[in-house]
Amino acid sequence: MPASAPVGQLRAAFEAYHERYIATGSFQPFVHAMVVAFGIGYATEYSHIKHEVSHQRAEAAKIEGKERMKGAGAGGTC
């Protein structure tokens, strides 16, 4: 397979996209650009979001564990 084959396929896909959406004056290219921008932004921030959520869950579990220990120690036995 020649190296220019993927380039030719990409060009054909862009030309078909242009004919279907851009040449007709459709609003869809704007929506597609927004979806792509959101996807790229989310993908780049995902690891940060995942770390923050896991940290918050760990803190909540630590606090909940301390509250359970206080409740068990305060009751005592008869």
pLDDT by position in tens, the chain (length 78)? 566 788 999 999 999 999 999 999 999 999 999 999 999 999 999 888 888 888 888 888 888 887 777 766 555 555
Tell me how far the alpha carbon of residue 19 is from its chain's centroid.
Answer: 31
Q: What is the number of structural domains in the chain?
A: 1
Question: What pLDDT score does 71 carry?
Answer: 67
Q: State the residue range of the domain holding 55.
A: 4-75
Question: What pLDDT score does 60 carry?
Answer: 87
pTM (two decimals): 0.55
CB crowding 40-57: b at 16 or more within 10 Å, else e: eeeeeeeeeeeeeeeeee
